[in-house]
Structures are given as structure tokens and as C-alpha cells.
Amino acid sequence: VKRKPYVAGNWKMNLDRRAAVSLATAVRTGLQGDAAVDVAVFPPFVYLEEVVRAVAGSGVAVGAQDVCDQPSGAFTGEVSAAMLLDIGAKVAIVGHSERRHVYGESEELCGRKLRAALAVGLEVILCVGETIEERQSQRTEKVVASQLSKGLVGVPANQLSKVTLAYEPVWAIGTGLNATAAQASEVHGYLRGLLSGLYSPAAADAMRIQYGGSVKPENARELLTARDVDGALVGGASLKPESFLAIVRYR
Ligand code: PGA
């Protein structure tokens, strides 16, 4: 199977309204006619609707950085999957390391969020990744295996095409210290093997697995052409159109 590369920009808690619209517009303009790579941007919740408007009719998808695990009701401060779909978002990120490690989200909560997103028809990027302590104590495979299987609990094979994985080693996020292409390929290949066991070889083969963690124009080509790497989830370098577009055009 030839997997289409998928590059996503996670803006995190950055930019203001004007800068968000201007970045989205620049990405849209810069990509005109380029359909070789799937592209999505993930603004803060409050700017989602305006960014959806700014990229309407282009190939750029818009998604949310997080989503509530519950459909509606008394959940102060939360945003439901149906609300996201309602304003034109197509995707939600689930299990980003900052959600897991800064806000204490459990693997079970990430699984519920993923199922809540799929239930309304959103696509999902499920993030997994080990901390530096976990890597140094040879626990990387154990950690990502648990995050993967708990994240995908209850997801039937026919929903798997709505899911993208992102391998994001915590030690590489925002540090400037990216994983090497070999390190990324090793974990991506391991994840694909797990998917093959959890679902089927064909499902594993079709699954896109993004790498995330200090991806920048200078390392994009090496990382994105590595075996089993099908794109990138980009944080810092997605905040400037030039660097994000250079990553999209990594070839
Ligand atoms: P970074 O962030 O590119 O700034 O390292 C990646 C991410 O957190 O998705």
C-alpha cells in the first residue's frame, strides 16, 4: 500500500485571532494546487471557526487539539466532538503528550476521547510516545504499546481508516532534539506490527504513522522519507508559514 503523507501543524496555545487567520491564509495560498500531501492545521479552540473560514474550499483540513470524552452535559470548560464537527472541524488530536503529562490524562480517558470523536464522524490523530526516563530504562515499546492498545479499545476495524497515529517521543517535543530517522523507523515499525496483531496486516499497512518532535525544514526530508514514517505532526515550526510549507514540501 502506498500511504499518502500527512503533515499536521499543532499550533498549541499560540497566536492571536489575527495571526491565526493570517497563518491559515498563508498556508492555503502556499499550497495552491499541491495535493501530494494531506495537510491539516490545529488552532486553539476559540480560533477554529475563523480558520475553517479562512481555508474553506482548499485542501487544508482544520482540527482541534483536544476533545471531550463525553457527548454533552455538565462538563464545565469542555468542548464536545459534535460541537467541533458543527463548526467545520474535521479532526481531533487525542493523547498529545502535553495532555497526558501536563494535564494528567490517563490512557483510558484518551481511549474515551478517541471513541467520542469517531462516534460523531471526526477523524483522530492519536499520539503516543515515551519520556526520556522510559527510553533510558528500555521501556519505550511497553509504553507505546499500552498507549496504543488502550487508545484503540473498542475501535472496530472499519473505523480505523479515520485514525492516524503520531509517534511523538516526549524528549523530542519542543526541545530541538529530534529523534533520528532510525529511532523513528524502529518505533513506527513496532507500532505497525502491533496494529497487525490487533487488527490485520492489511489494516496495519494502511495506517499512517506521523513522526512528531522538533520536526523542522532542516530535518524534514530525512525523517519523512524514513521507513514507516508517513508524515509529521509539527509544533513550533508550524507557526511560521515558510517553515511549515517547507516541511510539507520535504521531498
Ligand atoms: P515540536 O512539537 O514540533 O514543537 O517539537 C511537536 C508536537 O508537540 O506536536
Query: Could you tell me the pLDDT band of residue 251, with boundaries at 50, 70 and 90?
Result: confident
Mutate to test the pocket of ligand 1, among 6, 7, 10 (most ligand atoms within 8 A of CB): 10
pLDDT in tens, 101-142: 999 999 999 999 999 999 999 999 999 999 999 999 999 999
Give the residue, by CA position, lying nearest to ligand 1 atom 7: 235
Residue bearing cell 508559514: 241
Positions marked catalytic: 96, 168
The strand ranges marked E within 84-199 are 91-94, 123-128, 163-167
List Cβ neighbours of 180 (8 Å cut-off, separation of 6 or more).
none
Here the cell at position 235 is 509544533
Give the residue, by CA position, lying nearest to ligand 1 atom 1: 235
Residues 194, 196: Cα–Cα separation, whole Å: 5
pLDDT in tens, 190-211: 999 999 999 999 999 999 999 9
pLDDT in tens, 28-76: 999 987 789 999 999 999 999 999 999 999 999 999 999 999 999 999 9
pTM metric for this prediction: 0.98
pLDDT in tens, 3-12: 999 999 999 9
Ligand 1 pocket by C-beta < 6 Å: which residues? Answer: 10, 168, 173-174, 212-215, 233-237
Taking Cα atoms as reference points, which of 39, 42, 55 lies closest to residue 7?
Answer: 39
Mutate to test the pocket of ligand 1, among 6, 173, 233 (most ligand atoms within 8 A of CB): 173
Dihedral, 29, 223, 7, 249 alpha carbons, nearest 10: 20
Residues 182, 167: Cα–Cα separation, whole Å: 13
Give the residue, by CA position, lying nearest to ligand 1 atom 2: 235
Contact between 119 and 154 under an 8 Å Cβ cutoff? The reply is no
